[in-house]
Structure 1
Amino acid sequence: MKKLRRIIFALLLTVIFLFMVTPGISLAAEREGKFYLILINYLSLEDLQNSKLTNINKMIENGGLGLMNTNTAGSRSAENTYSTLGSGTRALGTDYGGFAYNREETVSLSSNLSPLPAGDIYNVISNQDKKGEVIHLALPKIVLANQQLTNKVKTAALGTSLKNAGIRVGVFGNSDSFARSRPASLLAIDEQGQVAKGVVDSSINMKDKAFPFGFHTDYDKLKNEVVKNHDKVDFFVIETGDNSRLEDYKTFLTSERYNQLKELTLNRIDGFLGALSNNIDWQKDRVMLVSPTPSSKASTFNNLVTPLIYAGNSIHPGVLTSSSTRRQGIVAITDITPTVLSFWGIKQDPEIVGRPVFSQTAHNVFQQVKQLNQNLIINYTHRPPVLKTFVILQIIYILLTAFSVYFLKSHRVLQPLQKLIVLFLIMPPVILAYSIFRVESLALTLIYFALIVALIYLVISKANISFYYKVAFLSLSTSAAILIDTVLGSPLTINSPLGYDAMNGARYYGIGNEFAGILEGSTIIGTAALYQELSKHRRILLPVFLAYFAFMTYVSYAPGFGADAGGLITAVIALGFFSLRLMDKRVSRRELLYLLLLTLLLLGLGAFIDMTFNSLHGSHIGQAFSLLVQGNYAEIGNIIYRKIAMNIKLMNYSIWTKVLLASLAALGVLLYKPVGFFKQLTDSVPNMKKGFEAIFVASLVGFLVNDSGIVQAATTFIYLIFPLLYLSLQDKLNRPW
């Protein structure tokens, strides 16, 4: 314990010194040039597989291509996706997201009211001077809707930040259809709901009886308006519009006619890009082609990501990524605002959670992104049924076994139940390796899964080794596989149903809560089982396992690997508790205090390294500690509040809550039957009992410190309840341990 105190004291001095000398994070140098953000809503990667789209294909060839996650604070409606793009965090746009007008444009707020100039209505609503050419009449309503969210949203964060930095903004084009709709304004308006320059009224459209709603975008005029304002605007938001009109009109069209109009629309947009490109300085300017919302057709096939193309100054040919995702080929919708701001070296507000998009060199870019898109669809489609099956099987088995332990004595029932327990220790590593045998067909994949589990089960069953060796082998193999996969960049985790889902975008890298729980539980019970069999060699085993625990803790937290702050807290406290118990030491309040202090020091040290030496591409850990160093305690409070709110939500709706409750119910049964069961554990399998205690601690801490704590607690508990049920059945069968 003296050594531990010395280590903690040394770490404390180191962290204090490092934070005292932390250098300020410098901003990127300001650039001369324009930024063109061109919106083609409801576009899919499949739409780009057209050789006639010469200008779009040229952008892909000379720039970067990727997929953009489109998750918002609500549904994936155009109003919400556009609002999220302009806020830099998941946001709402409400039904009034497109309520923007040119200042002199007449507006009728109701059928029984006479039309009035938008500027006059704006004066009534905001009591502000109407200086901008484009004004949004529903900004207060959108702000109010976003104030109800758990995450803090600064509506119009992009336009406001640009205006405050002296960057001139303009918005051009509309997506009018059944009604006037201009959600693109949400990427350009400032905090007063105004845009200095722009044309969003019907004058930017031209009549066309052969197109939905009888008009389409006048691309010549759109281009001319952009060119005319070249010297007055630095950041151009350009809404092409027609693809949105076509999507809104889709119900009235046959598939054949829809496809004809879709091809016509994309050809017109491609021609517009070609005409506009003659006025773009590709050495100074940047062009980003964004599709904010997935189409209804794409959504039907669970394709909820959209293509993103980025070209121009310093954007090298390749695939797009960002520090938000750390995955080649995919970025977050919240990354667009930071990307625009970083072009001019503008510091982003703490409410903006994304990170700038950049390109990475790659070969066969389109095919690589297409394959990624297909993988994401398969993962998203397979994940719910696989997890639901896994959890339901656990619940059925746990409750059935608990009932049998309490009420039954028949060996014919108890013995088969006991033999099946090892299946639940086989399933987690097979789910980790899911992508190795996964095919597009869910049914066929599940057959492969069942065959692989059955084959491993047969091999393990035939092995002439004790139950403890089986537990040690399966658990430590699982632990090692997760760590190796994490160090290698998580190639298995990102395609596993127990990994994170890039379509929903809750997490893109590191160790997610599901596998964090499995990692901690499997490490502890595997160690306990091996200790139980090899207790005579504890002097050799102890330093080996302590080293392994340290390595696991490092990988779990290191921003370049696991990037899991909750995982670090859980690992240090639970593994520290377990280590002390393996050394036959009582864990008093003083020892727990030392473990907690060590946890805080390691958190601070890792975060300092991340925010200091990797400030541009650091993880969410470094970002959070950067807020702490800056004294932004309000945003730190918001982060904590969001995590608590997420845990409460998952407790109410997650299927993992049910399996954890089933496990706790079974644990309650074992307190009473078999009689004296837990007391016998202390005498017969003391090291296993120490493992059970440590797993309980890990589950409790994991539940308290993670935003999806219920999930981590449930997966950790797998390695407590199933071995414990095995031992209870063994006791019931009156076999020696």
Structure 2
Amino acid sequence: MNLMNVRSAMLAMLALVLLGLMPGSAAAAAPGPRITVAMLPPGTTVAEIERAVPGIAPGVMSAGLGRVPAGQTYLDIGQGNRIFSSLYQESLPPLYVTGARVPPDLWARVLARADDAPADIEPGLLAGTLEDAGVRIAARPLAGSPALIAADRDGAIERTGSCVPGGCPGVTVMSAEVGELPGLADAIRPGSGDMLIAIERPPPERDLLAVGIAGDGFDGRAITSGSTRMDGYVLATDLLPTILGAYGVPVPDAVDGQAIEPTAEPADIAAIGSLEERLGEIQSRRWEVLAVNLLIWVGAGLALVLWRRGLAPLLLATLAAAMALVPAILLAAAALMPSQLVERLMVGAGAPVLALLLISLLRRRLGRLAAYGAFAISAALSIGLTGIDVIAGSPLTALSLLGPNPGLGVRFFGIGNELEAALAAMLLLGVGSAVTATRPRDPARAVTIAAVAATVAGVLVFAPGRFGADVGAAITFPAGAAVTVVVALRLGIRRAALVILAPLVALALLIVFDLLVPGESHLTRSVLSAGGLGDLGDVFDRRITLAARSFPRYLHSPFFVAALLAIAAALVFRRHVVAWFDRRPAALAGAAGAAAATVVGTLANDSAALLLMVGTGYLAAYCGLAWGARPASSGDNG
């Protein structure tokens, strides 16, 4: 009897062993990746994270679109999408966690706020998607407000219980000190897919959050994502697809972020620090380097004219050419990353000196047309260098003071609204200037050919997502070129339909190009990827709302007021302004095209007031150039 019991026990043990060796059973028993999201004290730096965990992949993270409260950053991480706070119908209420959930009344306000937003905003999407896939996500008992990351669609938050930090199954959200990072990193099991995601708690004391990721493939690298295309820079919304990807869970359509990846090259802590510093300076430096310098130019010019009135034509030509040189000089500054004082001098002194030098060199050959030649060369330099840079991936344009301002959290590559407005105006003004300076036999035909060729090249470079990633370039450039052609050839009303057809044709071609050669432009991600008419309506609603709200934001700007006054004066004295272009048909056609590009860009862009201000500034300076270079005799033709 005892022998039979022993045999039965042995058979049972053998059966259990065999069952344990079966593939299905092994898969069920094998634990999945363990991901720890450790929120560190505010003020933690990238260098401190790297020193705590040598080899961790470092970087900086955009906490939100502009300045947002910490609760909004946590919600953005959990929903994988974000919009400007101004697009929500109400401000975010102060959020907190009690026990295992967000208070129901607060979470109801969060959901209602998201439902009214002109975008696919789904609070709790990360936790809900993981739960649907059978993956646990929980917050440590003392996680504090970062536990909002683990809130599901109902505002409920699971707690980890007594498991050891770094060893809990699934995704764990916790608050930690920098000194705890080595222990959390030691808990990573090589080859298991485990990750440690260490993030400085928002809101950032600087402009961006310090972040580091440890895990398979990240050792010794920096972090990046398709959202930014910048080594060492990612978005808060990139965390959701990163975490879902670790478990092989499909990313929902409502998610805008993209998975964080290790860079191809080893991490450079100093370079990431410089990147963080530069991104944090762009917004603040714009006033000192651009606005103040422009005011100094105008003030100094007025003083010189009062001293010697005959200097006015030369000073106006210098101002226009200097403004055209600014984008090129700012690219050089982006490469050098100088101090604010040096960058101010590069623009404030360098641009007018170079412009004056160009005018002087061309004066002997072109006479009064030297002003047009200098502007054409200056515009060609800025447009050409910017085009080369965006084709190369925007390494300098992204860091230029006239670039997309990645630190704001909206655009990270290609050209931004400021450059779109400047390039659209300079493209057509430059074409008109070049034809005027070269004095062809048939200036109308020459400016038509040049405008069409330059516009086609400009759209191919600046509009597709792979390069300039600016859909506005496919609208404003052709619209301006169409008006240039209409004015140059004096076309009738029927043929003037080019004004409407040109941007539509260009936009259709851009859609085809972005579908065939995707590059994650705003067109691709916002419009072409819209899930239906409702989503497409949200896109246009969002753009119209932002455009309308841009005007009140600039009402106190002296430059915006000056732009409105300049537009009013040009309309009232339009006959006098046109007379300044007498016997300069190419220059007049270019100016008309630049005006049209500015108007169309203002109507089509969500930063309407900004485009109006920048485009009007270039056009006003060019009209001043035309006044100073107006023909002195009947033989002075352009």
The interval holding the TM-score normalised by the smaller chain is 0.7 to 0.9
Q: 1:391 to 1:711 in 2, by over 3 A?
A: farther
Task: Return the alpha-carbon distance in structure 2 between the equivalents of residues 597 and 335 of structure 1.
Answer: 33
CA contact (8 A) 1:556 1:562 kept: yes
2:615 to 712, 716, 719: 716
Q: Does 1:680 align with 2:579?
A: yes
Q: Does 1:706 align with 2:608?
A: no
Of stretches 635-644 and 679-688 in structure 1, the one that deviates more from structure 2 is 679-688
Q: Does 1:186 align with 2:148?
A: yes
SS in 1 for 2:210: strand
User: 1:656, CA displacement in angstroms?
Assistant: 9.9
Amino acid aligned to 2:187? L
Task: Return the alpha-carbon distance in structure 2 between the equivalents of residues 32 and 437 of structure 1.
Answer: 46
2:125 to 151, 157, 165: 157
What corresponds to 2:594 in structure 1? 695
Q: In the TM superposition, what whole-angstrom CA distance separates every residue of 1:178-204 from its partner, at most 9, and x where no partner exists?
A: xxxx222221121112234434xxxxx
- Greater RCO (Cα-Cα under 8 Å, separation 6 or more): 1
Of stretches 448-457 and 510-519 in structure 1, the one that deviates more from structure 2 is 448-457
User: 1:647, CA displacement in angstroms?
Assistant: 1.9
Task: Return the alpha-carbon distance in structure 2 between the equivalents of residues 486 and 424 of structure 1.
Answer: 21
CA contact (8 A) 1:100 1:185 kept: no
Of stretches 40-49 and 188-197 in structure 1, the one that deviates more from structure 2 is 40-49
Amino acid aligned to 1:272? G
CA contact (8 A) 1:86 1:157 kept: yes
Q: In the TM superposition, what whole-angstrom CA distance separates every residue of 1:417-436 from its partner, at most 9, and x where no partner exists?
A: 54553443343432343235
SS in 2 for 1:238: strand
User: 1:697, CA displacement in angstroms?
Assistant: 0.9
Q: Does 1:429 align with 2:391?
A: no
SS in 2 for 1:684: coil
What corresponds to 1:472 in structure 2? 376
SS in 1 for 2:401: coil
2:138 to 133, 147, 170: 170
1:270 to 166, 178, 181: 181
What corresponds to 2:624 in structure 1? 725
Q: In the TM superposition, what whole-angstrom CA distance separates every residue of 1:137-190 from its partner, at most 9, and x where no partner exists?
A: 732233345556555532112112222333222221425xxxxxx222221121
CA contact (8 A) 2:316 2:621 kept: no
Q: 1:276 to 1:393 in 2, by over 3 A?
A: same
Task: Return the alpha-carbon distance in structure 2 between the equivalents of residues 447 and 410 of structure 1.
Answer: 25
User: 1:325, CA displacement in angstroms?
Assistant: 0.6
Q: 1:585 to 1:476 in 2, by over 3 A?
A: farther
Amino acid aligned to 2:42? Y
CA contact (8 A) 2:237 2:256 kept: yes
CA contact (8 A) 1:43 1:294 kept: no
Which runs of 5 or more structure 2 residues have no equivalent in the other structure?
1-30, 86-90
What corresponds to 2:552 in structure 1? 652
SS in 2 for 1:320: strand
What corresponds to 1:488 in structure 2? 392
User: 1:519, CA displacement in angstroms?
Assistant: 1.3
2:510 to 603, 606, 628: 603
Q: 1:72 to 1:624 in 2, by over 3 A?
A: closer
What corresponds to 1:81 in structure 2? 73
2:354 to 436, 444, 456: 456
CA contact (8 A) 1:482 1:515 kept: no
Q: 1:683 to 1:375 in 2, by over 3 A?
A: closer
What corresponds to 2:345 in structure 1? 447
1:223 to 137, 149, 164: 164
What corresponds to 2:171 in structure 1? 235
Q: 1:734 to 1:479 in 2, by over 3 A?
A: same
Amino acid aligned to 1:515? L
User: 1:522, CA displacement in angstroms?
Assistant: 1.2
Task: Return the alpha-carbon distance in structure 2 between the equivalents of residues 727 and 417 of structure 1.
Answer: 12
Task: Return the alpha-carbon distance in structure 1 between the equivalents of residues 466 and 229 of structure 2.
Answer: 10
SS in 1 for 2:408: coil
Task: Return the alpha-carbon distance in structure 2 between the equivalents of residues 586 and 605 of structure 1.
Answer: 31
What corresponds to 1:502 in structure 2? 406
Amino acid aligned to 2:594? I
What corresponds to 1:39 in structure 2? 39
Equivalence map 1:27-66=2 (5 Å): 32-45=32-45, 48=48, 51=51, 53=52, 56-58=53-55, 60=56, 64-66=57-59
What corresponds to 1:9 in structure 2? none
What corresponds to 2:197 in structure 1? 288
Identical positions, percent: 18
Of stretches 710-719 and 578-587 in structure 1, the one that deviates more from structure 2 is 578-587
Q: 1:359 to 1:294 in 2, by over 3 A?
A: same
Q: Does 1:536 align with 2:536?
A: no
Q: 1:600 to 1:619 in 2, by over 3 A?
A: closer
Amino acid aligned to 1:276? A
SS in 2 for 1:642: helix
What corresponds to 1:560 in structure 2? 466
Equivalence map 1:189-588=2 (5 Å): 189-199=151-161, 223=164, 227=167, 229-230=168-169, 234-240=170-176, 265-267=177-179, 269-274=180-185, 276-277=187-188, 280-294=189-203, 299=205, 303-315=206-218, 317-390=220-293, 392=295, 411=309, 414-415=312-313, 418=316, 420-422=318-320, 423-436=322-335, 438-440=337-339, 442-463=340-361, 464=363, 465=366, 466=369, 467-533=371-437, 534-536=439-441, 543=449, 546-586=452-492, 588=494
Of stretches 552-561 and 364-373 in structure 1, the one that deviates more from structure 2 is 364-373
Task: Return the alpha-carbon distance in structure 2 between the equivalents of residues 306 and 294 of structure 1.
Answer: 8
SS in 1 for 2:272: helix
What corresponds to 2:88 in structure 1? none
SS in 2 for 1:101: coil
Q: 1:73 to 1:678 in 2, by over 3 A?
A: closer
Provide TM-score, normalisation by structure 1: 0.71
Amino acid aligned to 2:54? N
User: 1:580, CA displacement in angstroms?
Assistant: 4.9
SS in 2 for 1:289: strand
Which runs of 5 or more structure 1 residues have no equivalent in the other structure?
1-30, 104-121, 127-136, 176-181, 200-220, 241-264
CA contact (8 A) 1:581 1:587 kept: no
Amino acid aligned to 1:695? A
User: 1:676, CA displacement in angstroms?
Assistant: 4.3
Q: In the TM superposition, what whole-angstrom CA distance separates every residue of 1:474-499 from its partner, at most 9, and x where no partner exists?
A: 22222212212211222332222111
User: 1:32, CA displacement in angstroms?
Assistant: 4.8
What corresponds to 1:619 in structure 2? 521
What corresponds to 2:12 in structure 1? none
Q: In the TM superposition, what whole-angstrom CA distance separates every residue of 1:328-348 from its partner, at most 9, and x where no partner exists?
A: 110111111122223334343
Equivalence map 1:138-149=2 (5 Å): 138-146=106-114
What corresponds to 1:115 in structure 2? none
User: 1:622, CA displacement in angstroms?
Assistant: 1.9
What corresponds to 1:71 in structure 2? 64
Amino acid aligned to 2:59? G
Amino acid aligned to 1:594? L
Q: Does 1:666 align with 2:628?
A: no
SS in 2 for 1:38: strand
Task: Return the alpha-carbon distance in structure 2 between the equivalents of residues 395 and 140 of structure 1.
Answer: 54
Provide TM-score, normalisation by structure 2: 0.82
Amino acid aligned to 1:700? V
Task: Return the alpha-carbon distance in structure 2 between the equivalents of residues 46 and 35 of structure 1.
Answer: 20
Task: Return the alpha-carbon distance in structure 1 between the equivalents of residues 117 and 406 of structure 2.
Answer: 22
Q: 1:161 to 1:730 in 2, by over 3 A?
A: same
Q: 1:726 to 1:524 in 2, by over 3 A?
A: same
State the superposition RMSD in angstroms. Answer: 3.6
Q: In the TM superposition, what whole-angstrom CA distance separates every residue of 1:680-727 from its partner, at most 9, and x where no partner exists?
A: 356522221111111111001111111213223332333321121233
Amino acid aligned to 1:67? V
SS in 1 for 2:129: helix
SS in 1 for 2:265: coil
CA contact (8 A) 2:563 2:616 kept: yes
Q: 1:691 to 1:660 in 2, by over 3 A?
A: farther
